[in-house]
């Protein structure tokens, strides 16, 4: 194994844990609005920006983490990256099946995990050309924001960012623009952590219990992502603040 192959950088775990907490906060409000009678407006104003910021953190950190994983790996082959991305995408498909069963009209077709899984695979060429990730990432962001102004009469490219008319899903993250943020994470990873090590001196890992708790969430973000909604829904239903109309 390479030296320090298992080393974790606490600041990345902390940021990812913060994103997890923001995600849980937003989903509590979403569940109250979607399954209850609470008139929250989540698709505009502050909460819309809050959701975008939360997702943006996940994509940026995923890109940074990919550069660290690649720099420290003995096996740097495309197939290793493909298996990793495919695993994340497969979990996304599990969410598709579950939401199709419970929310057949609003089920997740191409959500966060689908997008991150495919992004991991598509980002492979940039791992050795990390400077190129910046202009290509910016181009993806510009293209994605441009496409948001239109709808299209076909559904086949919704994964890319071509939104069909009258399309709605509870979780939608197309490659344009979100792959752009993933690429910016690749660029930042190469800039801040060349060869898998910090470029700049950084304080030691904090011992404050609250921060360590947030870092714990960051270390287990995938498991929390997969389980937090069933747990939240069960708790809110037990408290009697939401009802299911299945």
Closest Cα partner for 119 from 129, 110, 107, 128?
A: 110
Mean of the pLDDT values across residues 188-193? 96
Minimum mean pLDDT range among 26-35, 36-45, 160-169, 193-202: 36-45
Whole-number pLDDT of residue 4: 53
> Residue for token digits 């400077």?
131
Closest Cα partner for 171 from 98, 245, 107?
A: 107
Whole-number pLDDT of residue 216: 96
Mean of the pLDDT values across residues 62-68? 96
pLDDT, tens digit (0-9, with 9 covering 90-100), for 195-233: 999 998 888 888 899 999 999 999 999 999 999 999 999
Neighbours of 19 (CB within 10 A): 24
The Cα–Cα gap between 70 and 193 comes to 11
Specify the higher pLDDT residue, 245 or 2: 245
Mean of the pLDDT values across residues 57-62? 97
Closest Cα partner for 168 from 57, 58, 43?
A: 43
Whole-number pLDDT of residue 149: 92
- Mean pLDDT computed over every residue of the chain: 92
Give residue 44's pLDDT band: very low, low, confident or very high (50, 70, 90).
Answer: confident
The strand pairing partners of 164, in sequence order, are 152
Contact 114, 173 (CB under 8 A): yes
The Cα–Cα gap between 224 and 197 comes to 27
Minimum mean pLDDT range among 114-118, 139-143, 147-151: 147-151
Q: Where are the domains of the chain?
A: 10-238
Whole-number pLDDT of residue 231: 96
Whole-number pLDDT of residue 246: 54
The strand pairing partners of 110, in sequence order, are 172
Instruction: Give the three-class secondary structure for 20.
Output: helix
pLDDT, tens digit (0-9, with 9 covering 90-100), for 73-107: 988 999 999 999 999 999 999 999 999 998 898 89
Whole-number pLDDT of residue 42: 83
Whole-number pLDDT of residue 1: 39
pTM for this structure? 0.93
Q: Which residues touch 187 (CB under 8 Å, ≥6 apart)?
A: 63, 130, 131, 133, 134, 137
Backbone angles phi, psi at 54, to 5 degrees: -60, -50
């Amino acid at each position: 194994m390479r030296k320090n192959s298992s080393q974790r950088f606490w600041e990345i775990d902390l940021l990812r844990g913060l994103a997890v907490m923001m995600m849980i906060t937003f989903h509590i409000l979403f569940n109250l609005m979607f399954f209850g009678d609470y008139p929250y407006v989540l698709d505009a104003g502050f909460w819309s920006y809050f959701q975008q910021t939360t997702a943006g953190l996940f994509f940026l950190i995923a890109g940074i983490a990919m550069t660290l994983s690649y720099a420290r790996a003995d096996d740097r082959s495309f197939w290793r990256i493909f298996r990793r991305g495919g695993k994340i995408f497969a979990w996304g498909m599990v969410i598709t099946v579950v939401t199709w069963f419970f929310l057949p009209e609003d089920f997740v077709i191409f959500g966060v995990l689908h997008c991150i899984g495919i992004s991991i695979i598509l980002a492979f060429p940039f791992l050795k050309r990390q400077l190129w990730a910046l202009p290509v990432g910016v181009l993806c962001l510009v293209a994605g924001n441009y496409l948001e102004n239109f709808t299209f009469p076909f559904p086949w490219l919704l994964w890319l960012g071509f939104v069909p008319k009258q399309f709605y899903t509870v979780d939608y993250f197309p490659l344009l623009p979100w792959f752009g943020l993933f690429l910016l994470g690749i660029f930042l990873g190469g800039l801040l952590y060349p060869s898998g090590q910090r470029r700049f001196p950084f304080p030691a890992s904090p011992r404050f219990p609250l921060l360590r708790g947030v870092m714990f969430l960051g270390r287990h973000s995938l498991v929390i992502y997969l389980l937090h909604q069933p747990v939240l829904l069960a708790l809110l239903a037990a408290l009697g603040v939401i009802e299911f109309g299945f």
